[in-house]
Amino acid sequence: MRPPSRWLFGFVAGVAGALICALAFAPYVYAELSPVLEPHTIVDPARPPLAAGAMVDDYWAVQRLDTDTYAIGEPRYYQQNYAYLILGQRRALLFDAGSGTRDIGPIVGRLTRLPVTLVVSHLHFDHLGGVGPFASVAMIDLPQTRADVGGGRFRPGRYQYLGLVDGRSAPTLTVAEWLKPDATIDLGGRALRVLSTPGHTPSSVSLYDPATHRLFAGDYIYPTTLYAFLPGASLSAYHATARRLLADLPADTILWTAHCCRAGEKISAPWLAMNDLRDLDVALSAHEAGRLKGSGFYPIRFPVSRQMTLATGFAWNNR
Ligand SMILES: [Zn+2]
């Protein structure tokens, strides 16, 4: 038998090297391949079945949570994002800009005449994509967000924005206000606390409204599948955030989240309660102890509760 040629050896070594790289950088490889791995229609042509709120312009689901708080959903968008419009007496805060599939500006303009400041829960395209109409953007003041500023303009990195999933390029914007973690945003008669809540991404933000015991939680937690496997996600940060929120927030806090829908329910602004946060804390502890059985290759899905599944990368990713 002839010994294998150098070419064959080189080919095998090359394939093995590529495989090791793919496993080592799985979150980035997954993000790059996701348009092929998960093809999807961006906008569902069917009329969505709403459990609360009303359809406006055949695209937006507008739901009034109280006289000064609105949820603005995109139920036909494949990720079913919800943004929140929070009104004070002097100014309004829009928490998340939506995906940018449709211009959210006119719908916000119909709901309030107050000057609007945009705060995004994190930098992913489905939350920052609709930034276009907003001149006043406030950003969490962290080293990683400051690092995105060049020449006075802010632009998220490729794997911070992840617009490649839908073929969208990252916007460039001016940050009007930097928000330190634990800072208070005064809207006039209503103050919100800025919480740094890493886990889904390192610069994720939640807003706490102490007057109503509401936490606007972005993608830190929501019903359905929690994404803890994309670039920047961290399970240890997820766990530390869960424990801090459980220690700091009142037991009757309602968590208003950014992706629909609750298990077994039709479309409405997706909410969870503190017991759901406790379920996540318990699941993360079990995962750390190796007691949680997952399924699938990448991402690996772990059961959390009836409302949630936790999707993670390999053991060496997203630690
Ligand atoms: Zn999202």
Q: What is the pLDDT of residues 30-86, one digit of tens each?
A: 989 988 888 889 999 999 999 999 999 999 999 999 999 999 999 999 999 999 999
| Residues bordering ligand 1, an ion, CB closer than 5 Å | 126, 219
Q: What pLDDT does residue 23 have?
A: 83
**Any bridge partners for residue 243, and if so which?**
none
Evaluate whether residue 60 is within a structural domain: yes
Cβ within 8 Å of residue 273, ≥6 positions away: 253, 254, 255
Distance 239 CA to ligand 1 centre (A): 19
Burial-class residue 103 by CB neighbours within 10 Å (0-12, 13-18, 19+). Answer: middle
CA distance linking residue 174 with residue 143, whole number of Å: 17
| Cα-to-centroid distance, 291 and ligand 1 (Å) | 28
Instruction: Tell me how crowded residue 14 is: count the other CB atoms within 10 A of its CB.
Output: 10
From 24, 250, 237, select the one nearest 142 (Cα to Cα): 237
In a domain, 318, yes or no: no
Residue 21 domain-assigned? yes
Taking the C-alpha atoms of residue 177 and residue 183, their distance in angstroms, rounded to an integer, is 12
**Residue 282, number of CB atoms within 10 A of its CB:** 14
Q: 127 C-alpha to center of ligand 1: Å?
A: 6
- Give 81 Cα–ligand 1 centroid separation in angstroms: 7
Give the Cα separation of 81 and 78 in Å (integer). Answer: 8
- Residue whose C-alpha is closest to residue 111's, from 147, 74, 61: 61
Within a domain: 3: no
Q: What does the pLDDT read at residue 4? A: 66
Which DSSP symbol is given to 172? -
295 located within any domain: yes
CB atoms near residue 38 (< 10 Å): 10
In a domain, 317, yes or no: no
Rounded distance from Cα 125 to ligand 1 centre (Å): 8
- Which pLDDT score, from 0 to 100, does residue 109 have? 98
Q: How far is the CA of 61 from the centre of ligand 1 (A)?
A: 17
Q: Tell me which H or E stretch contains 56.
A: strand 54-56
Going from the Cα of 96 to the center of ligand 1, the distance in angstroms, rounded, reads 10
Ligand 1 centroid from CA 16, angstroms: 34
Determine the distance separating the centroid of ligand 1 and the alpha carbon of 90, expressed in angstroms: 29
Query: Ligand 1 centre from 20 Cα, in Å?
Result: 29
Query: How many structural domains compose the chain?
Result: 1
Residue 2 CA to ligand 1 center (angstroms) comes to 56
CATH number, position 170: 3.60.15.10
pLDDT averaged per 10 residues, the chain (length 319): 74 83 88 88 94 97 98 97 98 98 98 98 98 97 98 97 95 98 98 98 98 98 97 97 98 98 97 98 97 95 98 92
* Cα 126 to ligand 1 centroid, rounded to whole Å: 5
Going from the Cα of 93 to the center of ligand 1, the distance in angstroms, rounded, reads 19
Separation of CA 310 and ligand 1 centre (Å)? 14
CA distance 3 to 115: 75
Q: How far is the CA of 269 from the centre of ligand 1 (A)?
A: 14
Q: How many CB atoms lie within 10 A of CB 113?
A: 8
Closest to 120 (Cα-Cα) out of 169, 168, 171? 171
CA-nearest of 103, 115, 114 to 72 is 103
User: Is 319 inside any structural domain?
Assistant: no
User: 280 and 266 in contact (C-beta within 8 Å)?
Assistant: no
Tell me the two tokens of residue 48: 């969505």
Chain centroid to Cα 63, Å, comes to: 20
pLDDT of residue 2: 62
- CA 79 to centroid of ligand 1, rounded, Å: 7
Q: Is the bond preceding 260 in cis, omega lying within 30 degrees of 0? A: no
Q: Which residue range is the domain that position 43 belongs to?
A: 8-312
From the CA of 103, how far away is ligand 1's center (Å)? 17
Task: Give buried/exposed letters for 305-315 (b at 16+ CB in 10 A, else e).
Answer: bebbbbbbbbe
Let me know if residue 1 belongs to a domain. no
